[in-house]
Structure 1
Amino acid sequence: MERAAGVGDGDVRITVDLLKSITGEFDLESILSLKLTKMGICSLGCIGDCVNLERLDLSRNDISNLKPLASLKLLTVLNLSANRISNLDPLQSCENLQSINLAGNLISSVDALRSLTELKKLDTIRLKDTVCSFSNPVCMNTSYLSTMLDMFPNMKVLDGERVSGRGSDLYRLCKDIDASLKEIDSSAPVRGPLGPKKWVEDSYWELQPMQQTQTDEAMEQFYELLNECRKLNSKAADVITKTKRTLRAMN
């Protein structure tokens, strides 16, 4: 049974009595889904006794220590947004974790995320949420996107955007562009007494006659790409609309 928790009056520690009163369950092992949001929780207390938990929402609290979550082996969905978390090491024991929301915390570098790479089922990660204006210091890194893709090759969704499968072309394109720019920068000609060295011969820029078949193929590829972009744009708009509705319902 899942029941939303109300706003607390101060620092709160999760206790057996608190869990029973919120869920209506007498046995903590019977709790499969739990929502404890906006309660001022600073200590996870006995939440580790809910060993059969599959879905857990602890967003908008004051949590910094995740050690009690290490025993939740069946946990699949975890929302820790808007807390004070910087250390994720205890989560590497949550072997069934598939989705995690960490937006609005204190994660400062990609090194703090390496413990999550041990979770083979993890395919959805959120570290920033533009709708709620939540983020983490690590998201400011210019190589954030490419680094995340390298660290989590099985990831499907990052920060609400698909990074693999249908709809991931834009992310892959950005990564390729970043790599190309770095390569160009590292191989840039050095200015000497006679000026910069030419990258290409002058004749490179002369227009060459194009066969009709080549023109037709190019146009066909262009329109296919344009049509795909329109589909992605429409899909993105639908996702944004649904997300806003969900957030309004939660608040």
Structure 2
Amino acid sequence: MDNRNNKEENLDNSRITPEMLKSRTGEFDLESILFLKLRGAGIHELGCIGECLNLERLDLSNNHITHLAPLSSLKMMVALNLSCNRISSLEPLASCDSLQTLNVAGNMLCSVDSLQCLKGLRKLESIRLRDPVYNLSNPFCLNGSYRPAVLETIPSVRVIDGDRVTGTGSDLYHLCRDIDNSLKRFITSNGTVELAGSIKPWVEEGFWDIKPPQSTIIEETYKQFNDILRECKELTKRADDAISQAERALNIRSDTNSYVF
């Protein structure tokens, strides 16, 4: 009888159910779940996961998942970890418009063409297809030249397998370097004059009275700093929301280990 009960329990755990999600998060409404960690839970089927419409971060790593269809309704999802599963198609993720970070290392993706469905995800900046630390990969990663193909397939990607390939980081460095050089030049009535030997100290009073010429470099840098500031504000808001949710969950359940992330 005990063996039979154990088998039934394992069968129940292989499929995501509302009871499982409510038990793990302490939430009574599936749409209230923002973060969910189901790592190594023995899951075969995603079940009702698609009902968590406001889910932003989801960890389904180290399971036995093959089909991702229920994930297609998760329009708010920002980060998704599907590493170490049995996935051969990412097609349902094509509608996850908010996705920024995706980990699919350790699956069964046989061709770069399997990433074509992600081409329209304009916010997707980081993708992990191979993880040497945990010895995880995909069949098409055996070809050492897969990274250029990934960049061509998903133009928005800035980080592949944890390595930055391009992006605002390096661009901003070059812009700041150019501005630093431009501060040594000032416009006079006779044209451009080199003032490298007589530039005033950075903090000297009145230093900013002399303005460098306006240029597209300065305008672009100003725009990028504003973008970064806006992203920081958004991250701060998300962090505040996460802390509020954690506090609510901890008040509901005394077992802190049941809360995710």
**TM over 0.5, shorter chain:** yes
Q: CA deviation at 1:141?
A: 1.9
Q: CA deviation at 1:146?
A: 1.5
Q: CA deviation at 1:156?
A: 1.1
Q: Deviations over 1:209-238 (max 9, x none)?
A: xxxxxxxxxxxxxxxxxxxxxxxxxxxxxx
Normalized against structure 2, the TM-score is what? Answer: 0.59
Structure 1 unpaired stretches of 5+: 1-7, 169-249
Between the aligned partners of 1:50 and 1:88, the Cα distance in structure 2 is 19
Matched length: 162
Q: 2:89 maps to which residue?
A: 87
Q: CA deviation at 1:150?
A: 1.5
Q: CA deviation at 1:153?
A: 2.3
State which of 17, 22, 34 in structure 2 corresponds to 1:15.
17
Between the aligned partners of 1:111 and 1:96, the Cα distance in structure 2 is 22
Structure 2 unpaired stretches of 5+: 1-8, 172-259
* RMSD value, Cα: 1.8
Q: 2:75 maps to which residue?
A: 73
Between the aligned partners of 1:78 and 1:17, the Cα distance in structure 2 is 22
Q: CA deviation at 1:155?
A: 1.2
Between the aligned partners of 1:119 and 1:71, the Cα distance in structure 2 is 14
Normalized against structure 1, the TM-score is what? Answer: 0.62
Q: 2:39 maps to which residue?
A: 37
Letter in 1 for 2:127: I
**In structure 2, do the counterparts of structure 1 residues 135 and 70 end up closer, same or farther at CA, with 3 Å as the change threshold?**
same
Between the aligned partners of 1:92 and 1:119, the Cα distance in structure 2 is 7
8 Å contact from structure 1 (residues 9, 39) kept in 2: no
Q: 2:29 maps to which residue?
A: 27
Q: Deviations over 1:77-121 (max 9, x none)?
A: 000000000010000010100000000000000111100111110
Q: CA deviation at 1:48?
A: 0.3
Q: 2:117 maps to which residue?
A: 115
Superposition pairs of residues 36-185 of structure 1, within 5 angstroms:
36-165=38-167, 166=169
Query: Helix, strand or coil for the counterpart of 2:106?
Result: coil
Q: Deviations over 1:53-76 (max 9, x none)?
A: 000000000000000000000000
Q: CA deviation at 1:167?
A: 6.3
Runs (4+) off by over 6 Å? none
Between the aligned partners of 2:67 and 2:170, the Cα distance in structure 1 is 36
8 Å contact from structure 1 (residues 30, 50) kept in 2: yes
Q: CA deviation at 1:154?
A: 2.1
